[in-house]
A = this chain, B = another copy of it.
Amino acid sequence: MAATDDTPGRDSPRQHTEQGKERKQQLVEAAMDLFAARGYAATRIADICEAAGVAKGLFYWYFPTKHDLFAELVRSMRQRLRRAQAASLDPGADALTHIRQGVEASLLFMAEHASYFALLQVERTDPHLAAVLHEGSDVYLRDVLAHIREAQRDGQIADTDPTLLALGVLGAVSSFSNAWRNGRIELSAAELAAFVGDWVVRALGETSLIEPAHTT
């Protein structure tokens, strides 16, 4: 399953036992909560440690810097979101449906991990962090783009610039999810997901409703 940090020897001299991994996880979780509540800059390492009930020095046993903790958090969550999206796609369905499903899955995932996404909404400030955040953000765009192109080939949506449409989809997902997280929307996550699915499909200009037969 992966990745860059529990591969044993490599180049980090750090070797973690079971207990060690638990501690690390505790720190990550404490950090996520605090970051979400106060923002990255306003969260001191001392706070994270206090929340996790350990001494400050221990932080640096598990993470080289504060920034590295953040990067680890971001990368792991991005991976999980993409998995959730992929899992939501009904293999038999058409492209427009896939977009709707992806949108709904994203909203649900964001609702479930609200505190994390509250953090993201907020943390493009620091150039270092922004780099980590942007580093993989295009993958979402590419995913949506592919679906939009397909839907256009099938005549399901109008022939506008697909990038623009894709940005609209991502924008809708993130802004509704933000609004929900900030308590501006009363709906349950599932209801919101359904609404945003509809909203996006409408905005994409579901031509089939207006002209059921498509010639191109």
Contact = CB atoms under 8 A, between A and B. Distances in A.
A88 to B, nearest CB: 21
B167 A175 contact: yes
A164 interface: yes
Given A39-B125, A202-B205, A176 B185 contact: no
A179 B171 contact: yes
A40 B41 CA distance: 11
Number of this chain's copies in the complex: 2
B172 A171 contact: yes
Interface stretch (A16-24, A92-100, A116-124): A116-124
B172 A176 contact: no
Interface residues on A, range: 35 or more
Interface of A: 38-42, 121-127, 141, 160, 163-164, 167-168, 170-172, 174-176, 178-179, 184-185, 187, 195, 199-200, 202-205, 209-210
Contacts of A126: 39, 41-42
Contacts of A168: 172, 175-176, 199
Contacts of A124: 39, 121-122
Given A171-B171, A171-B172, A164 B195 contact: yes
A212 B102 CA distance: 32
A160 B126 CA distance: 39
